[in-house]
Amino acid sequence: MLTNIKKNIAQKIITLVENNDKRKKQEKWNIFMSKPNINIHPSFSPKDADIFKGENNQIGNITISENFLLRKYCNIVVFPNAELRIGKGVFFNNYCSINCLDKIEIGNDTIFGEGVRLYDHNHLIEKGEKLFVEKEKYMTSPIKIGKNCWIGSNTVILKGVTIGDNSIIGAGCVIHKSVPENTIMKNSQNLISQTL
Nearest to 111 by CA among 83, 74, 142, 153: 153
pLDDT digits (tens, 9 = 90+) for 26-54: 888 888 888 999 999 998 877 788 889 98
Question: Could you confirm whether 121 is annotated as catalytic?
Answer: no
Rounded to whole angstroms, the Cα distance separating 183 from 156 reads 17
The reply to whether CATH 2.160.10.10 applies to domain 38-195 is yes
Among 41, 121, 123, 176, the one annotated catalytic = 123
Alpha helices in the chain (DSSP H): 2-33
Neighbours of 48 (CB within 10 A): 15
Tell me the per-residue pLDDT of 123-180, one tens digit each, with 9 for 90 and over: 998 888 888 898 989 999 999 999 999 999 999 999 999 999 999 999 999 999 999 9
Domain ranges across the chain: 1-34, 38-195
